């Protein structure tokens, strides 16, 4: 395994003690319950670009992001890369392998320097039986993820690139609150991989949107949506 690995918890190490208390799947527990979990957690750091786990590797831990950003991607049967999702603070991954396969099907890569908390399968299963509310949190997270994944499948199956891109931009705006401007959270290259197309096509379609007056592209991956309605009518 890459990265620097060490036990944490009872050493009074500030950075680590907040690990459990910060993530949604645990922070609803009582203090002493959280402390119990903290005691079993391992902490690891990864540098930008390092692989956290890769497909085919046996898995026996849940990975929780303490700080930093991670991207999860898969390789298709023919070897092409497809971006699945991004994780940031509080998100977790590795769960597929924990509950079924025991082998990772995807790749996890640190996009910047990242701190990860690890819970071993055995410990996690103990906690799940002991504190059932943790399962409810994970079930909620899973069902959201499943919903997203199925929606994505449907879009890639039935919409053309233009529409997929427009919908994606609209979702970025949604998350932004009231502002009509946002920063693309990834390179266009990655966006292409995420939306199931090529960088060239992304480039062209964005240019088309701009020509049509639906959006305005600004420096530093900033995009201003000028006419959301028309964009969504594409």
Partner DNA sequence: TTACAAACTTGATTCTAATCAAGGTGGCCA
Partner DNA sequence: TGGCCACCTTGATTAGAATCAAGTTTGTAA
Interaction site with its own copies (CB under 8 A): 74-78, 80-82, 84, 95-96, 98-101, 105-106, 125, 128-130, 132-133, 135-136, 138-140, 142-147, 149-159, 163, 167, 195-196
Per CB under 7 A, 219 contacts DNA: yes
The whole-angstrom separation of Cα 155 and Cα 167 is: 9
Give me the helices (H) in the chain, please.
Answer: 14-22, 31-38, 95-99, 121-130, 132-158, 161-175, 188-195, 199-211, 228-233
Residue 125 contacts which entry, its own copies, DNA, none (Cβ below 5-8 A, type-dependent)? its own copies
Task: Kindly calculate the radius of gyration of the chain based on its CA atoms and give it in whole angstroms.
Answer: 20
Residue 11 contacts which entry, DNA, its own copies, none (Cβ below 5-8 A, type-dependent)? none
How far CA 50 is from CA of 61, 82, 146, 163, 207, in Å, comes to: 18, 18, 27, 34, 33
Within 8 A by CB and 6+ apart from 101, the residues are 59
Residue 33 contacts which entry, its own copies, DNA, none (Cβ below 5-8 A, type-dependent)? none
CB of 227 to DNA, least distance (A): 19
Per CB under 7 A, 196 contacts DNA: yes
Residue 207 contacts which entry, its own copies, DNA, none (Cβ below 5-8 A, type-dependent)? DNA
Only one of the segments 84-92, 120-128, 171-179, 199-207 lies at the binding site for DNA (rule: CB under 7 A); that segment is: 199-207
How far CA 138 is from CA of 45, 55, 143, in Å, comes to: 24, 22, 8
**Which spans of this chain sit near DNA (rule: CB under 7 A)?**
160-162, 187-190, 196-204, 206-207, 217, 219-221
């Amino acid at each position: 395994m890459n990265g620097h690995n060490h036990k944490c918890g009872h050493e009074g190490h500030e950075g680590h003690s907040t690990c459990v208390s910060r993530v949604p799947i645990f922070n609803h527990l009582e203090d002493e319950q959280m402390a119990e979990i903290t005691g079993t957690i391992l902490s690891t750091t990864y540098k930008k670009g390092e692989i956290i786990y890769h497909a085919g590797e046996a898995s026996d831990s849940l990975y929780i992001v303490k700080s930093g950003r991670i991207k999860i991607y898969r390789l298709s049967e023919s070897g092409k890369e497809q971006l699945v999702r991004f994780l940031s603070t509080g998100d977790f991954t590795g769960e597929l392998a924990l509950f079924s396969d025991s082998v990772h099907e995807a790749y996890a890569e640190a996009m910047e320097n990242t701190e990860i908390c690890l819970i071993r399968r055995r410990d996690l299963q103990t906690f799940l039986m002991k504190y059932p509310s943790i399962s409810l949190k994970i079930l909620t997270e899973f069902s959201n993820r499943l919903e997203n994944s199925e929606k994505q499948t449907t879009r890639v199956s039935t919409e053309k690139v233009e529409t997929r891109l427009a919908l994606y931009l609209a979702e970025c705006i949604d998350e932004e609150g009231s502002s009509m401007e946002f920063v693309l959270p990834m390179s266009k290259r990655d966006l292409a991989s995420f939306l199931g197309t090529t960088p060239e096509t992304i480039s062209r379609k964005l240019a088309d949107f701009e020509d049509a007056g639906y959006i305005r592209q600004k420096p530093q991956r900033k995009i201003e949506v000028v006419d959301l309605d028309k964009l969504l009518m594409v």
